[in-house]
Amino acid sequence: MNRLYRTFVVSVESGTLVRAAAALHVTQPTVTRQLQQLEAEFHQPLFERTGGRLVLTRSGEVVYRTAKRLLALDDKLREELNSLANPEAGTVYIGAGVTPAIHLLPGAFAMYRNLHPGVTFHLRTGSSSDVDAMLSAREIDIGIVTTVNPERADLVAKPLYKDDLLLVAPPSHALSTRSAITVSDLQGYPIIVMQAGSGLRRLVEDLLESRGVQLLPALEVDSLEAINRLVQFGFGISFLPRSCVRDDLDAGRLAVIRLMDEPPASRTITMVYRAQGSLPANAERFAEELPRLF
């Protein structure tokens, strides 16, 4: 039908069958035949043929307005489909945890855009479970998570970055001046922790419990960035990912407390995407290059 609609619209706007045939690069009998097919489809005349010119009937005016909208939508659809097949154009939809979104992805986006200026990004933030849900709903192409859902066998998971956990405190804290301590030395010191149920909270609890240290939460917070600021203001010490505190360590706003009896724990920043169904070309190219950018 789109072919008939296009012939009809071009004929109306050209004014004559001769001009319409020239614009469409077909013969005049072909144009006449397609217009007759469209009239047969609707069982109504669409033109009053007067003096060689095409004059629309009332039915023809209705079809013309609708056909213009349908052809515009068809053109838009084709443009969007073409962009999905073009790795150098269109938007890549990303879901990520707040820490990678703030501290790791901006640099990767900037480097990628320098190489592929036609590609743009749409970034949504949330917990690993939120990103998992976005993937299931096909709201994003790629997820960047700290915890991969073990039940999602339908996902491809590619590690990107090992994010070490550091025990940090204000530079003036009593433990900051010591060259190294043991985990047992933390007994009695208030610790700022993520809310219960988070992956980071479980890592901290397991570490302390393995050394018989009772956790004394100074505060429970749902944001690593908020914990960072609270530590700087002396509310307690905390275990935070290196990516979250790197700039503050360099600026002297935080200090690392070294644990001599415990190897550094870490979180792995992982890229995930659906295994079934191909990624758009731009997202596939980005997924290929992202490990190198990280």
Note whether 195 and 222 are within 8 A (CB): yes
pLDDT of the residue at 239: 93
| Residue 98 CB contacts under 8 Å (≥ 6 apart), including other chains | 125, 223, 224, 225
User: Model confidence over 174-218: pLDDT tens digits?
Assistant: 998 888 888 888 888 999 999 887 878 888 888 888 888 888 888
How far apart CA 274 and CA 22 sit, in angstroms, is 48
| Residue 182 CB contacts under 8 Å (≥ 6 apart), including other chains | 211, 259, 260, 261
User: Model confidence over 50-88: pLDDT tens digits?
Assistant: 666 788 999 999 999 999 999 888 887 886 777 678 889
Mean residue pLDDT of the chain comes to: 89
- Among 235, 243, 249, CA closest to 173: 235
DSSP 112: H
The structural domains of the chain, ordered by start, are 2-84 (1.10.10.10), 90-161+268-293 (3.40.190.10), 163-266 (3.40.190.10)
Q: How confident is the model at residue 277 (pLDDT cuts 50, 70, 90)?
A: low
Provide the strand spans (E) within 7-137. 47-50, 53-56, 90-96, 119-125
pLDDT of the residue at 17: 86
Average pLDDT for residues 7-33, to the nearest whole number?
A: 89
Place of tokens 């789109």: 2
